Chains A and B, each alone.
Chain A
């Protein structure tokens, strides 16, 4: 397995380091203290090979008060408008049932729609914007206007060109239409066509899939891998195949919906630990092992820890060394979802496992998607050969879902070969380095300008905190006015005081683009 001396060291010092953790870095997320592991000089050396700096700065109190006032004013106006709509003083723009159906028992509770009706509709023009070019570092937007305050849109027919793209997960810049780069993809397209029309277990396994799986396994340094057609479906279809009733899932607070859905579908018991908080995880592990299953007190059949490599809303990186030492101590399994981190972190782009300098044998199930860094679609699960062989027969996706289509597989193959340097150039490594440079530069500039940024210093996902509901709409519109496309999120997808704009830095961004964005 892994290097034995590292394991011994991890065990010996682990307790000591945790004590230091509690004393020095204060308690858990979001208390305004920089969680700087570098401050624990002695105990840090064994687990973390380089400094792990994550910030979750808190805004001053007046910002929180103003945020709540903003929501309060919005709520009061919402009630006022609802009242006017109910009494016919204002036009009702939302869908209504037919006259004959008004006496029926209602299908939906109208209060559940309150937020959508009154707050979301006002700033709805910042989401679902149609684009009409490849989502590279710049794209073209179709212009749309609204005549009735965002209830309906119409396209003017104009296209806004060259909008800087700060929202796509194009980390390594592989979303490109350069004919030379896509030469192999077009050849495969001519050869295989676009559709597979079959599942993996029937007729859907092509030689392209075998080639891709071998390449993925080589890239990650594991024994075997299996690829699936859809990234979300990889999680939600495979977790039920791996765990079932009588198993325990320990999942991070901020896990993605696909992991949550997979966990719920599996029928296992789910316990949630605070985000990236190792004390919370250890407490849950201890309680699980000591007390067993809820009423029968039997031992759990399996305990599996679900974490992500980079959390897309926070920009934080998982504390992998600590989790691995915890998992070894308590004999649990680890499922690592590297959707955002594969290709984006690590010296050669091999994900968080490489970023922390650990061996991929430590993680039981390595999962990732090709949608983000590789500019394609689909997901993979990699690990030991026994695991992957089990999934080939038992995965719901292998039995019922169609497999990945060949041109997409070829795109991933070419991107991965480029990244590994197998195509003879150093372009892959250059892209990874460029991404690292862009990330550090962008984060530093925003930090200098005084914005509050969440997350690890090395993560290409940069959430910029906006806080007030009014600012969400204003920020997104202003950015569009300056030809920059951003993604904004607010309550209830984030906690109520923490609405944010999320930037995704890409290797394809040039320094001028980043400068333009920061000064905008």
Chain B
């Protein structure tokens, strides 16, 4: 069982987000998360929206910007070992459609959350900081940058 035995794609992780149905699955996943949160009786609607936003951004940060490398061995001799999944997407080419989609979706979630929380100050601070944690690593200037050496190796 080895990577790349049936195709010459060196790192299949780069193509996962472009696969057919991935965006839809992602949207459905976020929708389901929100519905689950809404159905908990203790949370009011603004709290549910803020929680959706925060949990979604947390998950996105962990899986796209914190975890490095690939879950399988690749024949590229470890070029992708120190790269996060975001940096691996499309072999580092910026502004591809997957990157644009995953940049825009937290922004849309942020708009919805701000609307449903009626622009309340506490919720605003929470949502904005959470959005920034997920938007800043996506900027092309920060490709491969590790601030203060966090997550370098």
Contacts and interface: CB of A to CB of B under 8 A. Distances in A.
A113 B1 CA distance: 12
A10 B30 CA distance: 54
A390 to B, nearest CB: 27
A336 B75 CA distance: 24
Contacts of B20: 58, 61, 64, 497
Contacts of A255: 8
A64 B6 contact: no
B85 to A, nearest CB: 11
B140 interface: no
A24 B20 CA distance: 23
A64 B21 contact: yes
Interface stretch (A12-20, A94-102, A486-494): A486-494
Nearest to B80: A112
Given A257-B5, A497-B20, A492 B72 contact: yes
B15 interface: yes
Contact of B21 (A65, A115, A313): A65
A115 B72 contact: yes
Contact of A68 (B4, B8, B15, B22): B22
A124 B12 CA distance: 21
A65 B15 CA distance: 16
A251 B71 contact: no
A114 interface: yes
Interface stretch (B62-70, B92-100, B130-138, B141-149): B62-70
A388 interface: no
Contacts, number: 88
Contacts of A234: none
B19 A109 contact: no
Given A64-B19, A68-B22, A492 B81 contact: no
Nearest to A62: B21
Interface in B87-123: none
B143 to A, nearest CB: 20
B6 A313 contact: yes
Given A64-B25, A495-B15, A497-B21, A112 B8 contact: no
A493 B6 contact: yes
Given A68-B21, A251-B8, A253-B9, 8 more contacts: A64-B20, A65-B21, A109-B69, A111-B67, A112-B70, A253-B7, A257-B4, A260-B4
10 contacts: A69-B25, A75-B71, A112-B71, A112-B81, A251-B8, A257-B4, A492-B72, A493-B4, A495-B19, A497-B20
